[in-house]
Structure 1
Amino acid sequence: MPSASGRRLPSDRLLTVLTCPLCPSGLIRTDGALRCADRHTFDIARHGYVSLLTGHRRAVSADSADMVRCRGSFLRAGHYDPLARTLVELATELAPPDAVVLDAGAGTGHYLAAVLDALPGALGLGLDSSVHALRAAARAHARAEAVGWDVWRPWPVRTGCADLVLNVFAPRNGPEFHRVLRPDGALLVVTPTSRHLRELRAPLGLLAVDPRKEERLRRTLAARFRHARTESLEYPMSLTPEDATGLVAMSPAAHHVDPAELRRRVGALGTPVRVTASFTVSVYRPRGPQGRRAES
């Protein structure tokens, strides 16, 4: 909802989901900020997101402005559209049309927006520690809200409020995934396989993906979740040198590769740059009394 100044304010429905990160209280809107009963106050940024982080500096791994710009350009070009479609298909099967969807490590909000398009009454909440990503996520969709938060920490979100949690190439906080999900909720996790971007690894000096990554993921979540199913997705991409450069620059590798050297190495690959996209999309259900419903 917009304010008198035109600034987008958090929706009434979001306020039923969020909690104060400093005490158990709920939050209300007041004077361009969110405030709890104990008067802990959190400003609403002019870009529309709310940062609930207090007393902590931005995470070292948070996306920079350049990383967010590169990611936005790459995703808008459609190279990961098959992945977005897979998430949409699963989301519409797993969640009701009026779901509360949480995206942990939402980045620009690209995948959250795709899911919200398919769930006409849903509320989306993207959590991320990057101010630059939050600015994009806050305007990714009319029903998407963005909140600044470190997803490794306990979330300022009510217990059992979410129908669906998305986790796409982002840190995994198993205890919080489990806590915020409803009894019949679902967790969707996307990880790259060892074949992802394999053509770029040696020429560009990228780190290899652990071939046992999916196995480690299941072990990490096993205490609180049961693995329901997995969708494998692999397809070729034909990229321009600019796309290939942006693909690397939008990832954590951007912290370790000199931009000029990256452009030189990509230029040596020729045109077009043919690259494999390869992902695993896994569905998890909560264990315990809340996870006993039969799988969809």
Structure 2
Amino acid sequence: MLQENKRIKSAKYVSNFETIFACPICNSSMKVIEFKSLICSNHHTFDFAKQGYMNLTTHSVNTKYDKALFEARRKLIIEGAFYKPLSHAIAKIINEHVVKTKEIISILDAGCGEGSHLTNICDIVRSDFFKDVVGVGIDISKEGIKVASKHYSNKIWAVADLANTSFKNKQFDVILNILSPSNYDEFNRLLKPDGLVIKIVPQSSYLKELREHLFHKPEKQNYSNLETVERFNESFQFVESSRLSYTMNLNKPSLECLVQMTPLTWSTTEEQVTSFFIRIQLKSLLIWIY
């Protein structure tokens, strides 16, 4: 009964914003029917899962990102406050460039994972800047969206393909792209004319201590995202960029969550991981705003 109520509650919330959706199969308009399904005018049907999310993909996708990874990431973000300075920096940028001219702000987190970044940022915008926010999180990983819908209500959570999102043109005031892949053609299609794309790009010192401990080759220890930044700059009109750098000391539980959530450890041995020291330094996390 509790699971059914969660499905219905989510469907009722989504019904308030059903006009933003476009069918991923035929691109027609969609409506929430009987608080059970999102159905387009050509009768393509996408049911709400018992956890409250929707699967809007048209084909199955397998990823290495499992439930344990997303639960570890959520714990590190929420309980460990690992990205707290980043969330506040993003919320401040939204306030400076978007909030002042809007009563209600629509935010899409493209590649939202388990939804903690989006939730934190929406909460800060509401509490610090007193604005209503509609938060929409999409990710190709069903496990990530399951965790998001389990822990965070009053958001729209959907499994979706970043190259074929299920939304109409020009629907979002803000698109977040936090340490995740991008599709700039789709971002341009979805962004309102006065909208803002915020992309978070890690610099070479991001998780430096972890990289240096796990890898011996210089190209693994140090890397450059210059090409990523250049591609991004080609797609959007430049507004502002800023650099955020901070250091955190992690206790053992938080360190275990960090190791579990990062793909950096996928190609390493258990011995390498368990021997890693407890102090992690997070440095030079570059925020690019366009």
TM-score range, shorter chain: 0.7 to 0.9
Contact 1:99 1:123 in 2 (8 A): yes
Counterpart residue number, 2:167:
157
The two structures have a TM-score, normalised by structure 2, of 0.86
Counterpart residue number, 2:47:
43
Q: Which moved more, 1:194-203 or 1:43-52?
A: 194-203
**Per residue, is there more helix in 1 or in 2?**
2
- Please report how far the alpha carbon of residue 97 of structure 1 lies from its aligned counterpart in structure 2 after TM superposition: 4.3
1:79-90 superposed matches below 5 A: 79-90=82-93
Q: Distance in 2 between matches of 1:168 and 1:209?
A: 20
Contact 1:241 1:273 in 2 (8 A): no
Contact 1:129 1:149 in 2 (8 A): yes
> Structure 2 unaligned runs (5+)?
none
2:53 aligned with 1:52: no
Counterpart residue number, 1:234:
245
Do the aligned partners of residues 209 and 12 (structure 1) sit closer, same or farther apart at CA in structure 2, a change above 3 Å counting?
farther
Q: Distance in 1 between matches of 2:272 and 2:83?
A: 21
Q: Alignment RMSD, CA only? A: 2.2
The two structures have a TM-score, normalised by structure 1, of 0.85
Do the aligned partners of residues 6 and 181 (structure 1) sit closer, same or farther apart at CA in structure 2, a change above 3 Å counting?
closer
Counterpart residue number, 2:108:
102
Do the aligned partners of residues 6 and 249 (structure 1) sit closer, same or farther apart at CA in structure 2, a change above 3 Å counting?
closer
- Please report how far the alpha carbon of residue 141 of structure 1 lies from its aligned counterpart in structure 2 after TM superposition: 4.2
2:203 aligned with 1:193: yes
- Please report how far the alpha carbon of residue 262 of structure 1 lies from its aligned counterpart in structure 2 after TM superposition: 4.6
Contact 1:107 1:128 in 2 (8 A): yes
2:134 aligned with 1:123: yes
Q: Distance in 2 between matches of 1:222 and 1:274?
A: 31
The residue type equivalent to 1:91 in the other structure is I
The residue type equivalent to 1:81 in the other structure is K
Q: Distance in 1 between matches of 2:287 and 2:117?
A: 13
Contact 1:113 1:140 in 2 (8 A): no
Among all aligned residue pairs of Structure 1 and Structure 2, give the percentage whose two residues are the same amino acid: 25
- Please report how far the alpha carbon of residue 222 of structure 1 lies from its aligned counterpart in structure 2 after TM superposition: 3.5
Counterpart residue number, 1:70:
72
Q: Distance in 1 between matches of 2:240 and 2:282?
A: 23
Q: 1:166 aligns with which of 169, 176, 199?
A: 176
Q: Distance in 2 between matches of 1:138 and 1:58?
A: 19
Do the aligned partners of residues 263 and 158 (structure 1) sit closer, same or farther apart at CA in structure 2, a change above 3 Å counting?
same
Q: Which moved more, 1:43-52 or 1:194-203?
A: 194-203
Ranges of 4+ aligned residues in structure 1 off by more than 3 Å: 2-6, 139-143, 206-209
Do the aligned partners of residues 5 and 229 (structure 1) sit closer, same or farther apart at CA in structure 2, a change above 3 Å counting?
closer
Q: Distance in 1 between matches of 2:71 and 2:122?
A: 22
Contact 2:212 2:221 in 1 (8 A): no
Q: 1:24 aligns with which of 17, 24, 27?
A: 27
Contact 1:174 1:224 in 2 (8 A): yes
Secondary structure of the equivalent of 1:188? strand
